[in-house]
Structures are given as C-alpha cells and as structure tokens.
Amino acid sequence: MKQIDDIYHQVHELLKDGAPPSAPGSPVELERRQMKMHGMIVIQLCRIADAMGEK
C-alpha cells in the first residue's frame, strides 16, 4: 500500500509543478510541456493500477 501512496504523491507533485500561465516560451513549447506532463501522469496512474492488480 505504501507504494501506491508514493506514486500518488509523485502524481500530486507533477500536477503542482505544472507550467504557470506566465511561463516564458512559445505556446507550442508550453503545449509540449503539458503533453509530456499528462503522459507522465498517465504512466503513474497505470503503475497504480498495476500495483492494485498485484494484491
């Protein structure tokens, strides 16, 4: 169960670290950063599902 808590915490940190609206860079760059972040969150959620499936 601790593993799931750790992953949840990581996902929370990823969401918190999202680029602020005033971040420098082109809209394309910001969009790429958001897509990458969403991808990392999806991967973490898959890990949670796997961890729950092992129980």
32 three-state secondary structure: helix
Residue pair 17/33 in contact (Cβ under 8 Å)? The answer is no
Average pLDDT for consecutive 10-residue bins of the chain (55 residues)? 77 65 69 85 88 78
CA 11, 16, 17, 21: dihedral to nearest 10 degrees?
A: 130
Give the total number of structural domains in the chain: 1
**Quick one: 10 exposed, middle or buried, by C-beta within 10 A (0-12, 13-18, 19+)?**
middle
Dist CA 15 CA 1 (whole Å): 21
Domain holding 35, by residue range, is 2-19+26-54
